[in-house]
């Protein structure tokens, strides 16, 4: 069963994950990262396809649900079924920040992904228990207020625009919702 796909930045190659909930290339395509059901987070050489770093038990043995590189490629953001989002510093092979307090307690039943907003100033994560969006300041892990997403069931997917203050949510309530923050213009 194919569980994850990722295009190489050049568009010439595709990664296929069969035992991985998510795989992502960095912007240069020289590295890719894989989330794993066994709880490990792995960094791979994008040319040789050899594992260059393993973060064992990245979410205390819980399944790693999502992974994404920062734009500069120095960090990886991961989320796990432990309801925690973590920022990994690749140069030091360590967890730099753990974003906690999303509202869910214990192990999540469904996969959810932690993502950056378009400026990478905030980390976003849908809370399974309350169907709201939790956000943190990406640099100091200060939790912001929860945003009710208006869904009647678990939010299964969250994607943020790479260029502006907008995101989409998809839920088991058979709805997709588009969210946009108007930027006040200064005259």
pLDDT at 51: 97
- The dihedral built from the CA positions of residue 25, 26, 32 and 38, taken in this order, carries a sign that is negative
Is pLDDT of 104 > 60? no
The stretch 31-47 carries a mean pLDDT of 94
pLDDT at 146: 82
| Ranges of each domain in the chain | 4-180
pLDDT at 41: 95
Q: What percent of the chain has pLDDT over 90?
A: 53
Q: What is the pLDDT of residues 150-187, one digit of tens each?
A: 788 888 888 889 899 998 888 888 988 888 887 776 66
pLDDT at 148: 78
The stretch 31-37 carries a mean pLDDT of 94
**8 A C-beta contact, residue 56 and residue 64:** no
C-alpha span between 150 and 7 (Å, rounded): 32
Is pLDDT of 19 > 90? no
The stretch 113-135 carries a mean pLDDT of 87
What's the chain's length in residues? 187
Q: Which residues pair with 179 in a beta bridge?
A: 167
pLDDT at 139: 95
pTM of the entire structure? 0.88
What DSSP line would sit under 103-161, residue for residue? S--S--SS----EE-TTSSEEEEEETTTTEEEEEETTT--B---EE---SS-EEEEEE-
pLDDT at 105: 58
Q: Which of 17-26, 43-52, 131-140, 153-162 has the lowest mean pLDDT?
A: 153-162
CATH superfamily for domain 4-180: YVTN repeat-like/Quinoprotein amine dehydrogenase (2.130.10.10)
Residue 99: pLDDT band by 50, 70, 90 thresholds? very high
Of residues 167 and 55, more confidence is placed in 55
The stretch 91-114 carries a mean pLDDT of 81
């Amino acid at each position: 069963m194919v569980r994850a796909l990722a295009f190489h930045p050049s568009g010439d190659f595709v990664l296929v994950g069969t035992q991985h909930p998510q795989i992502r290339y960095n912007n240069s395509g020289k590295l890719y990262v894989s989330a794993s059901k066994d709880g490990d987070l792995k960094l791979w050489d994008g040319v040789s396809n050899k594992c260059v770093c393993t973060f064992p038990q990245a979410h205390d043995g819980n399944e790693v649900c999502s992974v994404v590189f920062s734009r500069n490629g120095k960090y990886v953001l991961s989320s796990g079924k432990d309801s925690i989002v973590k920022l990994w510093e690749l140069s030091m092979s360590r967890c730099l920040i753990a974003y906690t307090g999303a509202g869910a307690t214990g192990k999540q039943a469904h996969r959810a992904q932690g993502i950056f907003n378009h400026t990478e100033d905030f980390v976003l994560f849908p809370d399974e228990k309350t169907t709201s969006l939790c956000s943190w300041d990406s640099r100091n892990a200060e939790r912001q207020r929860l945003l009710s997403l208006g869904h009647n069931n678990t939010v299964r997917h969250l994607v943020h625009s790479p260029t502006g203050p907008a995101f989409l949510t998809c839920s088991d309530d058979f709805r997709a919702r588009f969210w946009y923050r108007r930027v006040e213009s200064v005259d």
